[in-house]
Structure 1
């Protein structure tokens, strides 16, 4: 399984990827809900709680202001983040929804279905975000698969 090359599926109303991962669904879910693990794949400062009802502040490139998300779902292999504030993309992410769906694949692996609902090709940041989400998903797989590396 080539775990660090997500399949890009971009649509008119959202950006979608499918990422294979050589880690259990539990490890992937932990990497989506535990602040220290989110920070390891996000590669910027992360503050807050990644559990349902929590709020996360995700900085860009270390400590540059980024986005604030409300965790609206975090159970049964599904994690949803509603973007409530966006200072890193000129507001283009505000009111979009970032969705992760994790399911088993093979004996010990997982598939991560990712969607950034509301991020469309009309957004000025779209091309940069296509590239950035590819990197984030590859880093998410790496974090879930093994020892956490410092950002």
Structure 2
């Protein structure tokens, strides 16, 4: 069985550059708790959602206005037994022009239905991509997780 990786596609009435810039503004759509660089090749950043989830990402491919790839270096979920499910997986954003619009194809390579976190993670990613990232690209304001006090 192939093509089991989680994939979510959105289309926006904005330029590929606007989509690319929004994707790299990780604090603007995923979480205000992101620490580290999120735009340049080899940048590393950490994501934290309360005591539920922590991960470290490294940008391993950055093609302006076309593609961004994160490699998951480290990951922790409070709700799974297997803490290695995300380690070594890749989060891929592919940007392309489609009939005057811009398509963003998000794929979490290695996040497959057999994983314990799949249902929770696929629902979360789908919400962030179709909701928060979409809004950031189209309106300039996303809905990231707020800073924790």
Taking a change above 3 Å as real, the CA distance of residues 112 and 150 of structure 1, as seen in their structure-2 partners, is closer
Matched, 1:23 2:14: yes
Structure 2 CA distance for aligned equivalents of residues 110 and 94 of structure 1: 30
Structure 1 CA distance for aligned equivalents of residues 94 and 75 of structure 2: 23
1:128 match: 120
The answer (yes or no) to whether the contact 1:52–1:71 under 8 Å persists in 2 is yes
Deviations 1:56-108 (A, max 9, x none): 111225x865210110011141100000000136331111011000011233x
The answer (yes or no) to whether the contact 1:82–1:98 under 8 Å persists in 2 is yes
Which aligned pairs between 1:135-150 and structure 2 lie closer than 5 A? 135-138=127-130, 139-149=132-142
The answer (yes or no) to whether the contact 1:104–1:110 under 8 Å persists in 2 is yes
Structure 1 residues not aligned, in runs of 5+: 1-9
Taking a change above 3 Å as real, the CA distance of residues 149 and 130 of structure 1, as seen in their structure-2 partners, is closer
Structure 2 residues not aligned, in runs of 5+: 145-149
Aligned residues: 136
Q: TM-score, normalised by structure 1?
A: 0.80
Question: What's the C-alpha RMSD, in Å, of the aligned pairs?
Answer: 2.0
The answer (yes or no) to whether the contact 1:44–1:60 under 8 Å persists in 2 is no
Which aligned pairs between 1:58-77 and structure 2 lie closer than 5 A? 58-60=47-49, 65-76=53-64, 77=66
Taking a change above 3 Å as real, the CA distance of residues 122 and 38 of structure 1, as seen in their structure-2 partners, is same
Q: TM-score, normalised by structure 2?
A: 0.81
Which aligned pairs between 1:109-128 and structure 2 lie closer than 5 A? 109-128=101-120
Structure 1 CA distance for aligned equivalents of residues 73 and 60 of structure 2: 11
